[in-house]
Homo-oligomer: A and B are copies of this chain.
Amino acid sequence: MTAHQPPEGYDPRAFEPFAVTVDLAVLTVREERLHVLLVERGESPYAGSWALPGGFVLPRESAEQAARRELAEETGLSGDTVADLHLEQLRTYSEPDRDPRMRVVSVAFTALVPDPPEPRGGGDAAQARWLPYGTHGPLAFDHDRILADAHDRVGAKLEYTCLATAFCPPEFTLGELRQVYETVWGVELDRPNFRRKVLATPGFVQAVAGPPRLTGGRGKPAALYRAGEATTLHPPLLRPEGRPA
Protein backbone atom coordinates (compact mmCIF):
# COMPACT_ATOMS: atom_id res chain seq x y z
CA MET A 1 0.00 0.00 0.00
CA THR A 2 1.43 3.32 -1.01
CA ALA A 3 1.70 6.17 1.40
CA HIS A 4 -1.62 7.81 1.96
CA GLN A 5 -3.09 6.30 -1.13
CA PRO A 6 -5.77 3.84 -0.24
CA PRO A 7 -5.35 0.60 -2.11
CA GLU A 8 -7.45 0.09 -5.13
CA GLY A 9 -11.08 -0.03 -4.27
CA TYR A 10 -10.44 1.08 -0.71
CA ASP A 11 -13.11 3.28 0.78
CA PRO A 12 -12.66 4.12 4.44
CA ARG A 13 -16.41 4.50 4.78
CA ALA A 14 -16.86 0.87 3.79
CA PHE A 15 -15.11 -0.29 6.95
CA GLU A 16 -16.42 -0.03 10.41
CA PRO A 17 -15.21 3.48 11.22
CA PHE A 18 -12.57 4.23 13.82
CA ALA A 19 -13.71 6.32 16.72
CA VAL A 20 -11.08 8.75 17.99
CA THR A 21 -11.10 9.76 21.63
CA VAL A 22 -8.87 11.53 24.12
CA ASP A 23 -7.97 10.26 27.58
CA LEU A 24 -6.58 12.55 30.25
CA ALA A 25 -4.16 11.68 33.01
CA VAL A 26 -4.57 14.76 35.18
CA LEU A 27 -2.09 14.84 38.03
CA THR A 28 -1.57 17.07 41.01
CA VAL A 29 0.32 17.07 44.28
CA ARG A 30 -1.92 17.45 47.30
CA GLU A 31 -0.92 16.91 50.90
CA GLU A 32 2.38 15.38 49.93
CA ARG A 33 0.75 12.74 47.74
CA LEU A 34 0.30 12.42 44.02
CA HIS A 35 -3.38 12.56 43.09
CA VAL A 36 -5.19 11.65 39.88
CA LEU A 37 -8.46 12.99 38.55
CA LEU A 38 -10.83 10.08 37.94
CA VAL A 39 -14.46 9.59 37.00
CA GLU A 40 -16.69 6.76 38.05
CA ARG A 41 -18.26 4.83 35.23
CA GLY A 42 -21.99 4.37 35.39
CA GLU A 43 -22.47 2.08 32.44
CA SER A 44 -21.18 -1.16 31.09
CA PRO A 45 -18.48 -2.04 30.30
CA TYR A 46 -16.57 -1.47 33.52
CA ALA A 47 -19.62 -0.03 35.31
CA GLY A 48 -18.57 1.01 38.79
CA SER A 49 -14.90 1.21 37.92
CA TRP A 50 -12.88 4.38 37.94
CA ALA A 51 -11.67 5.66 34.61
CA LEU A 52 -9.60 8.52 33.27
CA PRO A 53 -11.66 11.46 32.11
CA GLY A 54 -11.94 11.79 28.36
CA GLY A 55 -14.29 11.64 25.46
CA PHE A 56 -14.76 11.76 21.74
CA VAL A 57 -12.92 14.08 19.42
CA LEU A 58 -15.51 16.05 17.53
CA PRO A 59 -15.38 16.28 13.74
CA ARG A 60 -13.90 19.77 13.60
CA GLU A 61 -11.49 19.81 16.53
CA SER A 62 -7.95 18.58 17.09
CA ALA A 63 -7.17 16.06 19.79
CA GLU A 64 -5.66 18.80 21.96
CA GLN A 65 -8.74 20.98 21.61
CA ALA A 66 -10.86 17.99 22.57
CA ALA A 67 -8.67 17.36 25.60
CA ARG A 68 -9.03 20.93 26.87
CA ARG A 69 -12.76 20.92 26.25
CA GLU A 70 -13.25 17.65 28.10
CA LEU A 71 -11.11 18.84 30.95
CA ALA A 72 -13.18 22.00 31.34
CA GLU A 73 -16.41 20.04 31.17
CA GLU A 74 -15.42 17.41 33.68
CA THR A 75 -13.72 19.59 36.23
CA GLY A 76 -15.90 22.66 35.94
CA LEU A 77 -12.77 24.77 35.52
CA SER A 78 -13.15 27.93 33.49
CA GLY A 79 -11.96 27.98 29.92
CA ASP A 80 -9.22 30.46 30.83
CA THR A 81 -7.88 28.24 33.59
CA VAL A 82 -7.87 25.22 31.35
CA ALA A 83 -6.20 27.17 28.57
CA ASP A 84 -3.21 27.84 30.83
CA LEU A 85 -2.75 24.32 32.13
CA HIS A 86 0.26 22.34 31.16
CA LEU A 87 -1.15 19.81 28.71
CA GLU A 88 1.09 17.44 26.85
CA GLN A 89 0.45 14.59 24.49
CA LEU A 90 1.51 11.31 26.04
CA ARG A 91 0.98 8.73 23.31
CA THR A 92 -1.77 7.04 21.35
CA TYR A 93 -3.31 3.72 22.29
CA SER A 94 -4.67 1.78 19.37
CA GLU A 95 -4.89 -1.93 20.23
CA PRO A 96 -7.87 -3.27 18.29
CA ASP A 97 -9.63 -4.67 21.36
CA ARG A 98 -8.94 -1.99 23.92
CA ASP A 99 -12.62 -1.10 23.96
CA PRO A 100 -14.92 -4.12 23.70
CA ARG A 101 -17.70 -2.14 22.05
CA MET A 102 -16.01 -0.78 18.98
CA ARG A 103 -12.73 0.21 17.44
CA VAL A 104 -11.50 3.18 19.46
CA VAL A 105 -8.14 4.86 18.98
CA SER A 106 -7.35 7.08 21.92
CA VAL A 107 -4.88 9.93 22.10
CA ALA A 108 -3.75 10.21 25.71
CA PHE A 109 -2.67 13.47 27.33
CA THR A 110 -1.00 14.31 30.58
CA ALA A 111 -2.13 17.46 32.40
CA LEU A 112 -0.41 18.94 35.42
CA VAL A 113 -2.38 21.19 37.71
CA PRO A 114 -1.20 23.26 40.68
CA ASP A 115 -3.68 23.75 43.46
CA PRO A 116 -6.37 21.12 43.09
CA PRO A 117 -9.73 22.83 42.97
CA GLU A 118 -12.34 20.28 43.96
CA PRO A 119 -13.90 19.35 40.66
CA ARG A 120 -17.57 19.38 40.05
CA GLY A 121 -19.10 17.25 37.38
CA GLY A 122 -20.06 19.24 34.33
CA GLY A 123 -23.63 19.42 33.24
CA ASP A 124 -23.95 15.70 33.25
CA ALA A 125 -23.81 12.94 35.78
CA ALA A 126 -20.21 11.80 36.03
CA GLN A 127 -18.56 13.00 39.17
CA ALA A 128 -14.85 13.63 38.74
CA ARG A 129 -12.79 13.17 41.90
CA TRP A 130 -9.19 13.44 42.99
CA LEU A 131 -7.92 10.12 44.30
CA PRO A 132 -4.45 9.42 45.66
CA TYR A 133 -2.36 7.73 42.99
CA GLY A 134 -2.42 3.98 43.50
CA THR A 135 -5.30 3.80 45.96
CA HIS A 136 -7.96 3.28 43.30
CA GLY A 137 -8.60 -0.28 42.16
CA PRO A 138 -7.94 -1.37 38.60
CA LEU A 139 -9.15 1.26 36.18
CA ALA A 140 -11.44 0.71 33.21
CA PHE A 141 -10.13 -0.22 29.76
CA ASP A 142 -6.35 0.13 29.46
CA HIS A 143 -6.34 3.17 31.70
CA ASP A 144 -4.02 1.59 34.27
CA ARG A 145 -1.37 1.41 31.63
CA ILE A 146 -2.04 4.94 30.39
CA LEU A 147 -1.77 6.25 33.93
CA ALA A 148 1.44 4.34 34.57
CA ASP A 149 2.90 5.67 31.32
CA ALA A 150 1.94 9.19 32.35
CA HIS A 151 3.61 8.78 35.72
CA ASP A 152 6.77 7.44 34.10
CA ARG A 153 6.86 10.27 31.63
CA VAL A 154 6.35 12.97 34.23
CA GLY A 155 9.00 11.46 36.47
CA ALA A 156 11.47 11.40 33.60
CA LYS A 157 10.67 14.93 32.47
CA LEU A 158 11.23 16.33 35.94
CA GLU A 159 14.86 15.38 35.45
CA TYR A 160 15.62 17.48 32.43
CA THR A 161 12.85 20.07 32.17
CA CYS A 162 11.38 22.78 34.38
CA LEU A 163 8.08 20.91 34.41
CA ALA A 164 7.87 20.78 38.20
CA THR A 165 6.73 24.39 38.37
CA ALA A 166 3.56 23.35 36.52
CA PHE A 167 2.49 21.59 39.73
CA CYS A 168 2.99 24.77 41.78
CA PRO A 169 0.83 27.84 42.21
CA PRO A 170 2.07 31.10 40.62
CA GLU A 171 4.18 31.85 43.70
CA PHE A 172 5.78 29.03 45.58
CA THR A 173 8.58 28.23 48.00
CA LEU A 174 11.53 26.02 47.23
CA GLY A 175 10.12 23.61 49.78
CA GLU A 176 6.97 23.26 47.73
CA LEU A 177 8.98 22.72 44.58
CA ARG A 178 11.08 20.10 46.32
CA GLN A 179 7.90 18.44 47.51
CA VAL A 180 6.84 17.99 43.89
CA TYR A 181 10.03 16.12 43.09
CA GLU A 182 9.83 14.03 46.23
CA THR A 183 6.20 13.12 45.64
CA VAL A 184 6.50 12.20 41.99
CA TRP A 185 9.77 10.33 42.42
CA GLY A 186 8.88 8.83 45.78
CA VAL A 187 12.22 9.72 47.32
CA GLU A 188 13.58 12.22 49.84
CA LEU A 189 15.92 14.90 48.56
CA ASP A 190 18.56 16.75 50.51
CA ARG A 191 17.24 20.25 51.14
CA PRO A 192 20.44 22.26 50.80
CA ASN A 193 21.55 20.39 47.71
CA PHE A 194 18.18 20.78 46.05
CA ARG A 195 18.20 24.47 46.78
CA ARG A 196 21.70 24.91 45.44
CA LYS A 197 20.86 23.09 42.23
CA VAL A 198 17.64 24.97 41.54
CA LEU A 199 19.14 28.38 42.21
CA ALA A 200 22.22 27.55 40.13
CA THR A 201 20.11 26.74 37.08
CA PRO A 202 19.50 30.00 35.25
CA GLY A 203 15.85 30.62 34.45
CA PHE A 204 14.41 27.78 36.51
CA VAL A 205 12.93 30.07 39.17
CA GLN A 206 13.06 33.79 39.85
CA ALA A 207 12.87 35.36 43.27
CA VAL A 208 9.78 37.36 44.15
CA ALA A 209 10.37 40.64 45.95
CA GLY A 210 8.66 41.04 49.30
CA PRO A 211 8.57 39.35 52.64
CA PRO A 212 8.94 35.59 53.03
CA ARG A 213 5.84 33.53 53.51
CA LEU A 214 4.92 31.40 56.45
CA THR A 215 5.03 27.83 55.31
CA GLY A 216 1.63 27.17 56.73
CA GLY A 217 2.77 26.28 60.19
CA ARG A 218 6.10 25.20 61.53
CA GLY A 219 9.51 26.32 60.56
CA LYS A 220 11.23 29.41 59.34
CA PRO A 221 9.34 31.43 56.73
CA ALA A 222 10.47 30.72 53.18
CA ALA A 223 11.22 33.06 50.31
CA LEU A 224 8.84 33.05 47.37
CA TYR A 225 9.69 32.31 43.76
CA ARG A 226 7.98 32.28 40.40
CA ALA A 227 8.60 29.98 37.46
CA GLY A 228 11.40 31.33 35.28
CA GLU A 229 11.83 31.56 31.54
CA ALA A 230 13.77 28.36 31.04
CA THR A 231 12.06 25.18 29.93
CA THR A 232 14.96 22.76 30.10
CA LEU A 233 17.53 22.02 32.78
CA HIS A 234 21.22 21.96 31.93
CA PRO A 235 22.66 19.93 33.37
CA PRO A 236 19.67 17.86 34.46
CA LEU A 237 18.51 17.23 38.00
CA LEU A 238 18.90 13.49 38.15
CA ARG A 239 17.06 11.10 40.41
CA PRO A 240 19.11 9.71 43.27
CA GLU A 241 19.45 6.09 42.21
CA GLY A 242 19.61 4.92 38.64
CA ARG A 243 16.55 5.31 36.54
CA PRO A 244 13.56 3.31 37.69
CA ALA A 245 11.98 0.82 35.34
Interface residues of A in 37-51 (CB under 8 A from B): 39, 41-43, 51
* With known contacts A18-B20, A91-B91, A2–B39 Cβ distance under 8 A: yes
The answer to whether B94 touches A107 (Cβ under 8 A) is yes
Chain B: CB-nearest residue to A121: B2
Q: By the criterion CB–CB under 8 Å, are B53 and A105 in contact?
A: no
Q: Which of B10, B13, B60, B126 contacts A96 (CB 8 A)?
A: B60
Q: Report yes or no: B12 in contact with A102, Cβ–Cβ below 8 A.
A: yes
Partner of A17, one of B18, B54, B232: B18
Q: Is the CB of A1 within 8 A of B56?
A: yes
Number of this chain's copies in the complex: 2
Expressed in whole angstroms, the minimum distance between the Cβ of A43 and any Cβ of chain B is: 6
Tell me which of A23, A59, A159 has the highest count of chain B C-beta atoms within 10 A of its own C-beta: A59
A-B contact pairs, 30 of them (CB 8 A): A1-B55, A1-B56, A1-B124, A2-B39, A2-B55, A2-B126, A3-B39, A3-B55, A4-B21, A5-B42, A6-B56, A10-B56, A12-B56, A15-B59, A18-B20, A20-B94, A57-B94, A57-B105, A59-B103, A61-B96, A62-B94, A62-B96, A63-B92, A91-B91, A94-B107, A159-B160, A232-B243, A234-B243, A235-B238, A236-B236
